Amino acid sequence: MFFLKNALSTLTIALAFLVAGCASTPQRESFGEHIDDSVITTKIKALYVDDKAVSALNINVETFKGAVQLSGFAADTREIQRAVDIAQGVKGVAGVKNDIILKTAAAK
């Protein structure tokens, strides 16, 4: 009986840690949020590859809890705006932070 009680207690503690480990916090995504964010990032990057106005190789996309951050370098302001517009149009995007830098501005 003692062994059974100990095993049950250990299992309860392990499950508590497992559930807490999967929970979302302001600084950490849950497993489900991570999957959702990966899908958003992949969709945006695929749209960049298909779009002739945006260089998918020069613009980075990161997503955290639906918030998308764009970074990297663009040839002109039209490319930056197009990249932002594409990202904003993807389902699940809560907002877009634009940190893309003009190549000419970076050279100065």
**What CATH number is associated with residue 102?**
3.30.1340.30
Confirm whether 81 is domain-assigned. yes
- Residue 35 is predicted with a pLDDT of 75
- Residue 93 is predicted with a pLDDT of 95
Q: What mean pLDDT comes out for the span 30-57?
A: 88
Residue 65 has what DSSP assignment?
Answer: T
First to last CA, the chain: 75
Residue 47 phi/psi, 5-degree rounding, is: -65, -35
- Residue 58 is predicted with a pLDDT of 96
Which residues constitute the domain of residue 47? 26-107
Confirm whether 43 is domain-assigned. yes
Q: What mean pLDDT comes out for the span 10-33?
A: 55
Confirm whether 37 is domain-assigned. yes
Q: Into how many domains does the chain fold?
A: 1
Confirm whether 9 is domain-assigned. no
Confirm whether 6 is domain-assigned. no
Confirm whether 72 is domain-assigned. yes
Q: What mean pLDDT comes out for the span 56-78?
A: 95
Strands ordered across the beta sheet of 59-64: 59-64, 67-74, 95-102
Confirm whether 85 is domain-assigned. yes
| Cα–Cα distance, 99 to 108 (Å, whole number) | 17
Confirm whether 88 is domain-assigned. yes
